[in-house]
Structure 1
Amino acid sequence: MFTALFLFVSVTSISQSAVLQYDSRIINGEDVAPGEIPYQVSLQTQNFFHFCGGSILSEYYVITAAHCVAEKRLADMIIVAGTVSLIRSGVKRAIKQIISHKEYDPYNSYINDIALLKLLAPLKPSRDIGFVTLPKQDEIIQQGTAARVSGFGRISESSSGSNFLLKATVYITDQEYCKNIYNKILEYIYDTHICANDPNISRGSCKGDSGGPLIVNETLVGLVSWANGCSLTDYPTVHTRVSSYIDWIKKNAV
């Protein structure tokens, strides 16, 4: 089942019939305390339906997955910051501009899955709102490093989304293992991907968590992008490797 977190849906015929389902949620996660992950945002429709996650880069910019905002109209979306509950109102901001990576292709959304959202009005730092830290360009994260993923996504493949922000600990996967396991189902892993999961228990992102942060030592190392299934122990979740795009981010988030 492919989850683009959007989630990969079960496939009857592997590869060509595999369908990206962008929208994931945290499985086997824990509640996030107010202010614990102050850069986490919820991307929502104008009628307040959560569909993706993101992280606050600065007062005017949010970073997310390009597949979350591809072919969407500015007037149809808002971001909600400063809350760990979709039931309680957070700080809402309209979006002024969508800046997807120039080499992102919605028909090949597995790669260059990164976008910036320029906000119409600034987000002011507070206890509940803060800015995420970026890695250095091409910084390498070692295999086995503990990471944290968070989001408002599904708590199981068959459930509805969570109204509360959840977090889970996963581990950076060996890149060669990730390449080899996905090669079995004819999917390609690029150097601009970073994979993570828990090899012992189903834990991590699912449908609705797309675009949300993968964090190592309070640094944004990945954006939830896609996977075969939801938080499987054998197939890691694939994230956009943020360190591959630092120069692009700095050039465009101005």
Structure 2
Amino acid sequence: MFTLFYVLSLAIACSAVSVDVSDATNRIANGAVAANLQFPYAVSIQRIANNTQVSTRGHRCGGALVTLQHVLTAASCMFEWNADGTRTPITIGNYRVFAGAYLLSNDTATERVRNIAQYVVHPNYLGIPSYVGDLAVVTLSTAFASSTATPLSLPANNYNPADFTDCVVAGWGAATAASQTGANVEQKYANKYIYNQQECTSVYNALQGLPNILPTMVCAVSYDIVSSSCHGDEGNALVCGNTLTGILALHSNCAATSYPEIYTRVSNYTDWVRPIVSLANSFTSGASVLLLLTLIQMTFANLLS
């Protein structure tokens, strides 16, 4: 009966699970309003208005700073999803990253916005409906100041929180499935707990068209049942005991149910993320790399002369 209850809940609430994440607008449905800088690592990945995208300007996805210059988010956030289900990589010039305030209306302050220099999607990412490898690292053109934001450290690669561990997730996703208003509202958050992996697997794997739960995923449920993630919450960070635990891959489609949401388990990818972050920290721009190569060339030339 326990499993049947969750299966029925999932069948009803996930009927529209393949939703274009570009429909992001408001906030976590029924979540609590965050205090300013309560979640100083949280970012809003935003579409910048241009001649063809004015109507869809604003918040697109969530993410978490893992350094002052690097964001961890869902790989799905790095694609435009077409009506036929195909995907196209985003054009980085059409996007930016916001951090350092709980109100998106504060996005005019230059210290709170950064352009995107590049991004790397995990090579195993398969997209909808599998959500395998749903992780990406975004490198910003310049780092945020430490007075503006505070990054989360990457978890140890063996980090595996126990069932019922207290967690929290914060972001600017939509308030309802039908929400179409502008993204200029408060950041919201919801308290979660780690859901048993075996039970989560039995629930999802029994349903056709939904992802298989793998060890690289972690499931979490809201304590109050009614607060749930929504469109635009993809990429939000699941933080358990101040440890970055997951990146939201599949939300509950704004439904007030107690079935689990699926997050990419960050600890399984720490060894993949760390070299990307370290390399970018060493060479913050193409000009830096060119300068280093020039110096090396000059050094060898002097030695040979």
TM-score band w.r.t. shorter chain? 0.7 to 0.9
- Mapped to 2, the partners of 1:57 and 1:143 lie a distance apart of 25
* 1:19 has 2:18 as partner: yes
Distance 1:232 1:138 in 2: 32
TM-score, length of structure 2 as denominator length: 0.73
List 4+ stretches of structure 1 deviating above 4 A.
Answer: none
Which sits farther off after the overlay, 75-84 or 157-166? 157-166
Correspondence for 2:177: 157
Q: Which of 78, 93, 97 is matched with 2:114 structurally?
A: 93
Whole-angstrom CA distance in 2 between matches of 1:9 and 1:146 = 25
Which residue number corresponds to residue 40 of structure 2? 38
| SS at 2:149 equivalent | coil
Question: Counterparts of 2:125 and 2:216 in 1: how far apart (Å)?
Answer: 12
Q: CA deviation at 1:228?
A: 5.0
Identity of aligned residues (%): 31
The question of 1:10 aligning with 2:15 is answered yes
Given the superposition, is the C-alpha separation of residues 160 and 138 from structure 1 closer, same or farther in structure 2, using an over 3 Å criterion?
Answer: farther
Aligned to 1:153, the other structure's residue is in SS state: coil
Distance 1:199 1:57 in 2: 27
TM-score (norm 1): 0.87
1:75 aligns to what? 93
Deviation per residue, 1:164-187 (Å, 9 max, x gap): 100110111100111111122133
- Secondary structure, in 3 states, of the residue corresponding to 1:253? helix
Change (3 A) 1:92 1:227: closer
Q: How many residues align?
A: 240
Cα distance change of structure 1 residues 119 and 83 upon mapping to structure 2, 3 Å threshold: same
In the TM superposition, residue 66 of structure 1 has moved relative to its aligned partner by: 0.4
User: 1 or 2, which has the higher strand percentage?
Assistant: 1
Quick check: 1:176 aligned with 2:186? Answer: no
- Does residue 58 of the first structure (1) align with residue 67 of the second (2)? yes
* Matching of residue 250 in structure 1 with residue 274 in structure 2: yes
Q: Distance in 1 between matches of 2:65 and 2:223?
A: 30
Maintained 8 Å contact 2:40/2:149: yes
Match of 2:105, SS?
coil
Shift of 1:235: 2.5
Deviation of the 1:35 alpha carbon: 1.6
Quick check: 1:190 aligned with 2:179? no
C-alpha RMSD of the superposition: 2.0
Larger radius of gyration: 2
Does the 8 Å contact 1:199/1:233 carry over to 2?
no
Q: Is the 8 A contact 2:65 2:72 kept in 1?
A: yes
AA in 1 matched with 2:15:
S
Q: Structure 1 counterpart of 2:125, which letter?
A: Y
1:5 aligned partner: none
Report the counterpart of residue 132 of structure 2 in structure 1.
111
8 Å Cα contact 1:93/1:119 also seen in 2: yes
Q: What do the CA deviations read for 1:35-60 (whole angstroms, capped 9, x no partner)? A: 21111110001124101001111122
Residue 87 of structure 1, CA deviation: 1.3
Cα deviation, 1:162-216, whole Å, max 9, x if unaligned, reads 6210011011110011111112213300100001112652223111111011111
Residues of 2 paired with 1:53 and 1:228: CA distance?
15
> Could you report, residue by residue, the CA deviation over 1:226-252 in whole angstroms, capped at 9, with x for unpaired residues?
145335534211000011111011121
- Following the alignment from structure 1 to structure 2, what is the Cα–Cα distance between the partners of residues 56 and 129? 8
